[in-house]
Amino acid sequence: MDAVQFLQNLLNGISIGSVYAIFALGYTLVFSILGIINFAHGAVFTLGAYLTYSLAVGQFGIGGILADLQIPFQLSFPLSLLIGAILSGVAGVVVERCAFRPLRFRGADPLLALVSSLGVALVTVNVIQYLVGSEIYSFPSDVYGDIRPAFVLHFGEKLVVIRTVQIIIFAVSIVVLALLGYLISWTRIGKALRAVAENASTASLLGINVDRFILYTFFLSGFLGGMAGSLVGTSFGIAGPYFGVAYGLKGLAVIVMGGLGSIPGAVLGGMVIGLAEAFVPADYSAYKEAVAFAFLFVVLLVRPQGLLGRSQIQKV
């Protein structure tokens, strides 16, 4: 591999890795507070993409509310993205209300939340299919405005290409990650969140309103998932109601590799998997699907707690 190709792969990997990261963060937030995987996260990802699409471009009857709005600078797209993500956040809250809270209140086996969230995912995906069919929807290429579709850097004969989408994805991801990182590591909220995560009943004994925190977390998680879905959607189109599923699984690989509950871990995991995929030699691209998992497997054997996860030292 020559230097130019290396650079190209690096850029591709970082861009897709940053989406993996924000998507995975949604998982990791819920995991860190409830200790359980939210299987509906992939469905929220899909939902976010459809919501943003129907706001920004519009079809299936209701949509395009913002599409024909005459606002300068293509403001309607960022607006759609934001509203789409907020609505996804609300969807996250609904998921909590339907699939998590009732179980918590009944003291069910925590693993059961895997099943109930899976049920919500099934409902969401099939309702989308019911309403809008399995067709593919694609964002028009000028959705970001009249920016050139790609930057092409010439290195003699060779070229390195950066697609506009990649830059936007990267920029949005970085902003979101920075905000979230600040929230969790530097505020009282973050500290309380960690307390709830470790032991909800002890946290409530300290005056922390556990239920409200869980609700916030699901909102944030849905927000991030929907945002990631919209970004991927603008980049590659919405490949039907099931398109979040593949990401759902990969997102899991990302957070476990990075270390469950760790925000820098999710970012690192996203980048590692994004890069690993980008650097799969073309001849072996058949095995690309397995790369994320092979990496995960190896990482876990070497560091059972994930790259940045805290090992659970327990004193007896």
Partner 1 sequence: MEEFLQNYGFLLVTLVQQSLLAMSLYFPLSAGQLSLASPGFYALGGYVAAIMATADYFAPWRDALGWAIFPLEWLIAGLVSALLAFLVGVPALRLRGIYLALATIAFVEILRVVCLNLAITGGAIGIFGIPQLFESRWGYIWIFGPLLVITLIFSYRLDRSRVGRAFKAIREDELAAGAMGINPTHYKVLSFVIGAVLAGIVGAMSAPFLNTWNARQGTFDASISYLAYVLIGGGRSLWGPMLGAVLLASLPELLRPLKDARLIINGMVLVIASIYLPFGIAGALQRLKLSTLKRYASLRGGR
Partner 2 sequence: TAPIPVGIAVAQTSNVALFGQEQIIGAKIAEKYFNKSGVNGTPIKLVSQDTGGDEAGAINAFQNLINQEKVVGIVGPTLSQQAFSADPIANRLKVPVVGPSNTAKGIPQIGEYIGRVSAPVAKVAPFALKQALKQNPKIKKVAVLYAQNDAFSASETVTFQETVKSMKLEIVTLQKFMTTDTDFTTQATAVLGANVDLAIVSGLAADGGNLVKQLRQLGYKGIIIGGNGFNTANLFPVCGKNCDGILVAQAYSPEANNPVNKAFVDEYRRTYKKDPSQFSAQAFAAVQVFGEGLRRVEAATKKKITQLELSVVRTELNKALRSGSFVTPLGEISLDNEGEINQKTFYVSQIKMDANGKSGKFVIVK
Partner 3 sequence: MALLELENLSVSYGAIQAVRSINLEVETGEIVTLIGANGAGKSTTLRAISRLLKVREGRIRFDGRDITTSSPDAVVRSGIAQSPEGRQVLALQTVQDNLELGAYVRHDRAAIREDLARMYTLFPRLEERKHQSAGTLSGGEQQMLAIARALMSRPRLLLLDEPSLGLAPLIVLEIFSIIRNLNAEGTTILLVEQNAKLAMQHSHRTYVLEAGQITFSGPSQELLSDERVLHAYLGG
State the nearest-atom distance from the C-beta of 238 to partner 2, in Å: 9
| Complete DSSP assignment for 126-162 | HHHHHHHTT--B---TTTT-S--SEEEEEETTEEEEE
Does residue 106 bind partner 3 (CB under 8 A)? Answer: no
Which residues contact partner 1 by CB under 8 A?
31, 37, 39, 98-99, 102-103, 106-109, 111-116, 118-124, 126-127, 130, 249, 252-253, 256, 260, 286-287, 289-290, 293-294, 296-297, 300-301, 304-306, 312, 314, 316
Q: Taking CB under 8 A as the criterion, which residues in 292-311 touch partner 3?
A: 310
Question: 186 or 287, CB closer to partner 3?
Answer: 186
Residues that bind partner 2 (CB under 8 A): 5, 8-9, 12, 16, 126, 129, 133-138, 140-141, 149-150, 152, 158-159, 161, 163, 232, 235-237, 239-240, 242-243, 245-246, 277-278, 280, 282-283, 285-286, 288-289
Could you tell me the smallest distance in angstroms from the CB atom of residue 212 to ligand ATP? 26
| Distance of closest approach, residue 124 Cβ to partner 1, in angstroms | 8
Number of residues that bind partner 3 (CB under 8 A): 23
Partner whose binding site includes residue 144, from partner 2, ligand ATP, partner 3, none (CB under 5 to 8 Å by kind): none
121 binds, among ligand ATP, partner 1, partner 3, none (CB under 5 to 8 A by kind): partner 1
163 binds, among partner 2, partner 3, ligand ATP, none (CB under 5 to 8 A by kind): partner 2
Of 61 and 107, nearer to ligand ATP (C-beta) is 107
- From candidates 138, 204, 235, 305, binder to partner 3 by CB under 8 A: 204
Tokens representing 289 are: 């699907």
Minimum CB separation of residue 179 from partner 3 in Å reads 22
| Least distance CB 195 / partner 1 (angstroms) | 20
| Residue 237 contact among partner 2, partner 3, partner 1, none, beta carbon within 5 to 8 Å by kind | partner 2
| Residue 70 binds to partner 3 (criterion: CB under 8 A) | no
For the chain, the DSSP string reads --HHHHHHHHHHHHHHHHHHHHHHHHHHHHHHHHSS--TTHHHHHHHHHHHHHHHHT--TTT--TTTT---GGGTHHHHHHHHHHHHHHHHHHHHIIIIIHHHHHTT--TTHHHHHHHHHHHHHHHHHHHHHTT--B---TTTT-S--SEEEEEETTEEEEEEHHHHHHHHHHHHHHHHHHHHHHHSHHHHHHHHHHH-HHHHHHTT--HHHHHHHHHHHHHHHHHHHHHHHHHHH-B--TTHHHHHHHHHHHHHHHH-TT-HHHHHHHHHHHHHHHHTS-GGGGGGHHHHHHHHHHHHHHH-TT-SSPPP-----
Torsion of CA 302, 249, 312, 264, to 10 degrees: 90
Minimum distance, C-beta of residue 32 to partner 3, in the bound complex (Å): 11
Q: How far is the CB of 205 from partner 3 (least distance, A)?
A: 6
Q: Which residues contact 139 (CB under 8 A, 6 or more apart)?
A: 53, 56, 57, 233, 234, 237
Residues 157-196 that bind partner 3 (CB under 8 A): 188, 191-192, 194-195
